[in-house]
Amino acid sequence: MMKVAVLKETCPTEQRVALVPANVPQLAKAGIEVVVEGGAGEAAGFLDAQYVEKGAKIVARDELFSADIIAQVRTLGANKDSGRDDLGKFRNGQIVVGMCDPLGEPGSAVEIGETGASLFALEMIPRITRAQSMDVLSSMATIAGYRAVLLAAIELPKIFPMLMTAAGTLTPARVFIVGVGVAGLQAIATAKRLGGVVHAYDVRPACREQVESLGGKFVELELQAGEAEDKGGYAKAMGEEFYRKQRELMASVVAESDVVITTAAIPGKQSPLLITADAVKGMAPGGVIVDLATERGGNCELSQADTRVVEHGVTILGPTNLPSEIPNHASQMYSNNVTKFLLNLIKDGNVELNLEDEIIRDTLVAHEGQLLNARMRDILGMEPLPVPEPMPEPEETDSPSQDAEANSTDTDVDDDSGEKAKEADE
């Protein structure tokens, strides 16, 4: 049977696990055996006995590396401190599946590729309907958006809802969400459920309907955003002049808010600076900012990664791994994503590297010693990989009908493979 190994995460702040017991039977039906390192799921509330009950085997860490597939939450690129300890244990033909910060740490994918192992970067799952059930970024952003509001509620010296009591009326907290992606939408929904008055802004005007559907009010800034969204549905980086004007206009909204939660991040690039030190100074004492973009520099000028900062009477939090703070449900969502991905990758008990499948093609970033992803190669200054030569035209035969049929078939294959190669190169 194809064997998938689940490692205990070695990143000091990581409490999630790549697969939970509930998904083991699904994989077993597909001819996939699951082996788990002892204690791999304990931090998330999944005991070894639960894995065994569902059909998995508990083995020592060194034995796991004989498996066909290694499943992790954080591979080397997303675990720079401890991830290198396992690098020498990967082998030729093995598959590593997990998050690896491909656009932020592309060199780590090269290192894994040099071991002969193939690396699937789950952050590169394409935003297509068929891949929604595998989208780890959306799953983890959902958890982060929810958790961010709870952290803000704990720090805020006010309550979120309006209360009318015999002791007087308490006005509701004003919450401003910057960035209306998955994390931002969940933050809006959570803040609204807690009773806050919620405003939200995104550089993409099309987000207005989503904000309003959750009970929030969309903030309009007089800016020309132009093409603010890429074909994958993510916000694009804008020019510095645009961000300068955005900061000026946004400062007045920040000053009126009790809580500000920022989620604006550009994959693989520095997070845009949206809230200056002066804007923080304009907030009322007791205000709270939760900056979810701190890992790449932050949206707030005063935020620091994984540090609680107090400036001008305002508390600024810069968490970088909120999903790990809710490890049980975060692991459940991540495990469901990984399971769907593996079931798409493995057919009849064997790995099927079908590069015509957009999901497999886009996530396979290292294979047979080569870094395949064009964006990652460009970041590292590497030459683009050569585009495969198109198939030659078939030679003429004595049978006109057979010749026409062969030409028709081969032309279709030629056009399709050429188009797919072009897409992969782009």
Burial class (CB in 10 A: 0-12, 13-18, 19+), 360: middle
Question: Which candidate in 26, 48, 127, 370 is catalytic?
Answer: 127
Q: Cα–Cα distance between 372 and 384 in angstroms, integer?
A: 9
Question: Which candidate in 86, 101, 135, 202 is catalytic?
Answer: 135
- Residue 66 annotated among the catalytic residues of the structure: no
Q: What is the CA radius of gyration of the chain?
A: 25
- Residue 132 annotated among the catalytic residues of the structure: yes
Asked if residues 126 and 305 have their Cβ atoms less than 8 Å apart, the reply is no
- Residue 127 annotated among the catalytic residues of the structure: yes
Contacts of residues 230-238 at CB distance under 8 Å and 24 or more positions apart, as own/partner, are 232/126, 232/127, 233/127, 234/127, 234/181, 234/266, 234/267, 235/179, 235/181, 235/202, 235/203, 235/204, 235/264, 235/266, 236/266, 237/266, 237/269, 237/272, 238/203, 238/272
Q: Cα–Cα distance between 125 and 341 in angstroms, integer?
A: 9
To which H or E segment does residue 169 belong? Answer: strand 168-170
Asked if residues 65 and 80 have their Cβ atoms less than 8 Å apart, the reply is no
The CA-based dihedral angle spanning residues 289, 295, 300, 301, taken in that order and rounded to the nearest 10 degrees: 130
Q: Cα–Cα distance between 311 and 88 in angstroms, integer?
A: 45
Structure tokens at 19: 């697969």
Question: Which candidate in 193, 234, 304, 357 is catalytic?
Answer: 234
- Residue 234 annotated among the catalytic residues of the structure: yes
Closest CA to 204 of 232, 224, 182, 186: 224
Q: Is 224 left (phi over 0), alpha (psi -120 to 50) or beta?
A: beta
Question: Which candidate in 81, 91, 130, 132 is catalytic?
Answer: 132
Question: Which candidate in 15, 118, 138, 257 is catalytic?
Answer: 138
To which H or E segment does residue 179 belong? Answer: none
- DSSP percent split of the chain into helix, strand, coil, nearest 5: 40, 20, 40
Main-chain phi, psi angles of 272, to 5 degrees: -70, 140
Structure tokens at 280: 């923080």
Which sequence positions are flagged as catalytic? 127, 132, 135, 138, 234
